[in-house]
A and B are shown apart, each in its own frame.
Chain A
Amino acid sequence: MTYDSPHAHVPGPVFEADQLVKEYDDGRVPALRGVTFRIEDGEFVSIIGPSGCGKSTLLNMLGALDRPTSGSLKFKGTSIPDLADPAKYRGQEVGFIFQAFHLLPTFTVEENVQIPMFELPWSRAQRKKRAGELLDAVGLSHRLGHLPTKLSGGERQRAAIARSLANEPGVLLADEPTGNLDSQNAVQIMDLLCRLQTEHRITLLLVSHDLHVASHANRIIRMKDGQIVSESRPGDVAHSPQA
C-alpha cells in the first residue's frame, strides 16, 4: 500500500453536529430531527438504522452534498453549510463510497480513479501514476483498462474505494458500501476499509443497516425516525447482532 494521507491528525472533533434538522417538501417530510453528535479524528463510526431513518441524509450533510434546514454542523470547527468552497471540501477533505458504486460507465477503471484529481494541479502523468498506485493498493492493478461493466460487484466497489482516496482525504464517508455485494465480497470490502482506516487513521463514517458490517467500527450510532436513539461500542450487549 503506497497511499499516505497528508492530513494532520490533530486531537479534537472532526465533525460536530448540534440539533441538526433536515426537512423536505417545505417541512412536511422531516428527515433529521435534532441530531447531535461528535466524531473524533481517526475514529471509525458506523451509523445504523432501518431504511428511511435519516442515516444517508446525515451522510449527505457531512459530505456537503446537501444543506441542513437548521442546526449546526461543523468540520474541524468550520460550519459545513457555510463553506466558501464546498467543492474543494468534497474533493480534498472527504472521500465518498456509495452503495451503487457510481463509477462512470464510459471510462475505464483507471480513468474513473483519475476523475476526482482534475481539481488538483497534477499533470496527466501524475494522475495516471497515482491512479495506478491506488488501484494496486485495492488489488485491481490487473483491471486498469477495463470498463466498470466488465468488473464484478466487489471489484467495482474496490475501484470506487480507490477513487475515494484519490485526493488523499482525511475522512471517508461510506454509504452502505456492502449493500450491493454478496457476503464474501462484503467481507473483503470491509477488511479493505478497516485496513485503510487503521493503517492511515482515516476518519471513517460508515452507514449501514447491517449490524455485522457496522460492528467493525469503534463506535456505533443507532438512528430511528431521524433521531439518534443510542450510541455504543462493539461488544456492548445492546449492540450484538442478536439485539
Chain B
Amino acid sequence: MNFFTIVIRSLWRRPVRTSLTLVGISIGIAAVITLVGLASGYEKSVVRQLDVIGIDVIVSNMEGGMMPKAFEESMQAEIAKLPDTEKVTTVLMQMLSIEDAPMMMVSGREWEGFTWDQLEVVEGRMPKDASEKAVVMGRLAAEVLKKTVGDIVQIETDQFQVVGIVDGQSVVENGAIILALPLFQEVSGYQGKVNFIDIKVPKNTDSGRITALCEKIEALFPEVRAVKAGEVVGTSQGFRIARAMSWSTSLLAIIVGVLGVMNTMLMTVFERTHEIGILLALGWKRRRIVFLVLCESAILGLLGGMVGVILGAGALKILELTPTIRGMLEPDLSGGLVIQAICIAVGVGVVSGLYPAWRSSRLTPSLALQG
C-alpha cells in the first residue's frame, strides 16, 4: 500500500457519488473541447483557405462581426495602383440560408480574379462568363444540398443553375457556393459593393514591404483594415468574438464543474471527520491530510478531464457531420487543446479541493475522533 492507494480507496468508497461528480466535470470539459474545438477549427479552416487561394493581404472592414461590412468596390482600382500588388481581386461573401441548409457560405467573386484559380472542376464545368446565371459548388456544399450538375439552386429570391462541382482544397472553399460577383451583388442587394479585397504580392516580397503596403491602404481608406493573411485570425474581431464566446461558455461549464467537485469533496470531508481524527491521532501531519484531500479532488479532475475529452471528441465528430457545420469548418481537436482541457480539469479539481482541504486541516483531533 502506498499513499495513492489511500487516495484511490477513499474515492472508491462512494462509487456512485464519485461517478456522478466525474460526469459533472466531464460535461464541463466536453463543452470546452467542443466549443473551443469548433472556434479553433473555424480559424484553421479560414487560414487554410487563404493559404490555398494564395492571398497575401486581405482588405476588409471587420466591424461587422462574423462577416465584414460591405464597402465600395471602386477601392480595388486605387489599391491596384499601389506598389507591391501583383494581383488584386474583389469578393462579396455572405452566410446565407440556402434551401435546406441553415447556413452556407456564398462567395461572389470578381470574374477572372485569382480567387477562381485554385478551384479544380470535379464534375461539369466553370461558368462561361460573368453574366451566365450559374454557380459552381464546393464538393461538401453539393453533398449537403444534394445537388449535382444541372440542378437548380435558389439563392435568396433568384434561381441559378449548378454547372460544376469543384474541389477548393479547403473545407471553407468546398463548403461554399461560388458565382460571379455581379450576379451575387444583384441577388443580395449589394450592387457596387464587396466585403473583401484580396491581394497577391510578388513572390519574395519581404514582410516589411507587405506591412508598408497594408499601412498605405489603411491611410488611403481609413474605413477598412488591411491585414496580412497570416494575421487575419489574430486580428479579426469576428474570430476574437468566436474565441471569447467559446471560452466564456466553457467557463460557465467549468464553474458548474468546480461547484460539483467542491460539493463532493466537502461532503467527503464532513463524512470523514472521524477518519481524519484517527489519522491525526496516528500522527499524520495536517499538511498530509490537506494533500490527501487535494489529491483526491485532483484525481477526480483528471479522470473527469479524460472522460470529458472523449465526450468532447465524440461531440465534435457528430457536429462535423451535421448539415449546419458540414462544409463550413473542420472541428479541430489538437493535442494542445486536449492537454489544455486536462490541465483545466485537474485545476478544477485542485481549486475545488482547496476549501474542503482547509476545513479538514482545521479539525481538532479529539473532536474529530468523536465524529
Query: Which residues of A lie under 8 Å from residue B364 when comparing CB positions?
Result: 65-66
Bound-state Cα–Cα, A98 to B3, Å? 24
The smallest C-beta distance from A42 to any residue of chain B, in angstroms, reads 22
CB proximity to A under 8 Å, residues B248-278: 274-275, 278
The chain B residue with its CB closest to the CB of A57 is: B366
Question: Looking at the complex, which one of A106, A127, A163 makes contact with B9 (CB distance below 8 Å)?
Answer: A106
Question: Looking at the complex, which one of A65, A89, A116, A118 makes contact with B3 (CB distance below 8 Å)?
Answer: A118
CB of A65 within 8 A of CB of B281, answer yes
Given contacts A66-B364, A106-B13, A118-B3, contact A167 B369 (CB under 8 A): no
CB of B282 within 8 A of CB of A91, answer yes
Which stretch, A5-13, A107-115, A184-192, touches the partner chain B?
Answer: A107-115
CB of A96 within 8 A of CB of B281, answer yes
A63 within 8 A of B: yes
The smallest C-beta distance from B288 to any residue of chain A, in angstroms, reads 7
What is the number of residues of chain A that contact chain B, defined by CB distance less than 8 Å? 31
Interface string of A116-132 (1 = CB under 8 A from B): 10110000100110000
A146 within 8 A of B: no
B25 within 8 A of A: no
The smallest C-beta distance from A75 to any residue of chain B, in angstroms, reads 14
Query: Which residues of A lie under 8 Å from residue B77 when comparing CB positions?
Result: none
Question: Looking at the complex, which one of B279, B367, B369 makes contact with A115 (CB distance below 8 Å)?
Answer: B279
CB of B9 within 8 A of CB of A115, answer no
Bound-state Cα–Cα, A106 to B8, Å? 11
Query: Which residues of B lie under 8 Å from residue A60 when comparing CB positions?
Result: 365-366
A38 within 8 A of B: no
The smallest C-beta distance from B272 to any residue of chain A, in angstroms, reads 10
What is the number of residues of chain B that contact chain A, defined by CB distance less than 8 Å? 25
Question: Looking at the complex, which one of B1, B275, B280 makes contact with A87 (CB distance below 8 Å)?
Answer: B280
A90 within 8 A of B: yes
Bound-state Cα–Cα, A218 to B112, Å? 110
CB proximity to A under 8 Å, residues B7-46: 9-10, 13
CB of B369 within 8 A of CB of A65, answer yes
CB of B13 within 8 A of CB of A163, answer no
CB of A114 within 8 A of CB of B1, answer yes
CB of A116 within 8 A of CB of B369, answer no
The smallest C-beta distance from A91 to any residue of chain B, in angstroms, reads 2
Given contacts A102-B278, A127-B1, contact A118 B369 (CB under 8 A): no
CB of B275 within 8 A of CB of A118, answer no
B2 within 8 A of A: yes
Interface string of A30-68 (1 = CB under 8 A from B): 000000000000000000000000000000100111100
A212 within 8 A of B: no
The smallest C-beta distance from B81 to any residue of chain A, in angstroms, reads 79
B284 within 8 A of A: yes
B362 within 8 A of A: no
Bound-state Cα–Cα, A116 to B280, Å? 9
Given contacts A65-B281, A102-B281, A124-B1, contact A118 B288 (CB under 8 A): yes
A88 within 8 A of B: yes
Q: Is the interface of A mostly helix, strand, loop or mixed?
A: helix
Query: Which residues of B lie under 8 Å from residue A90 when comparing CB positions?
Result: 280-283, 365
A92 within 8 A of B: yes
Query: Which residues of A lie under 8 Å from residue B279 when comparing CB positions?
Result: 115
A104 within 8 A of B: yes
Query: Which residues of B lie under 8 Å from residue A127 when comparing CB positions?
Result: 1
Query: Which residues of A lie under 8 Å from residue B281 when comparing CB positions?
Result: 63, 65, 90, 96, 102
Bound-state Cα–Cα, A107 to B2, Å? 12
Question: Looking at the complex, which one of B10, B284, B369 makes contact with A102 (CB distance below 8 Å)?
Answer: B369
Bound-state Cα–Cα, A223 to B16, Å? 48
The smallest C-beta distance from B75 to any residue of chain A, in angstroms, reads 74
The smallest C-beta distance from A177 to any residue of chain B, in angstroms, reads 14
Query: Which residues of A lie under 8 Å from residue B369 when comparing CB positions?
Result: 65, 98, 102
CB proximity to B under 8 Å, residues A132-165: 163
Given contacts A66-B365, A124-B1, A124-B2, contact A107 B282 (CB under 8 A): no
Question: Looking at the complex, which one of B3, B6, B13, B283 makes contact with A167 (CB distance below 8 Å)?
Answer: B283
B317 within 8 A of A: no
B147 within 8 A of A: no
CB of B283 within 8 A of CB of A91, answer yes
Query: Which residues of B lie under 8 Å from residue A124 when comparing CB positions?
Result: 1-2
Interface string of A163-175 (1 = CB under 8 A from B): 1001100000000
- CB-defined A-B contacts under 8 Å, sample of 22: A60-B365, A60-B366, A65-B364, A65-B365, A66-B364, A85-B285, A88-B285, A89-B283, A90-B281, A90-B365, A96-B282, A98-B369, A104-B275, A104-B278, A106-B10, A107-B9, A114-B1, A115-B284, A116-B282, A118-B3, A118-B288, A163-B282
- A-to-B contact residues, CB < 8 Å: 60, 63-66, 85, 87-92, 96, 98, 102, 104, 106-107, 110-111, 114-116, 118-119, 124, 127-128, 163, 166-167
Given A65-B365, A92-B283, 14 new contacts (CB under 8 A): A60-B365, A66-B367, A85-B285, A91-B282, A91-B283, A104-B275, A106-B10, A107-B6, A115-B6, A115-B282, A118-B3, A127-B1, A166-B282, A167-B283
3 tightest CB-CB pairs across the interface, nearest first?
A: A91-B283, A66-B366, A116-B282
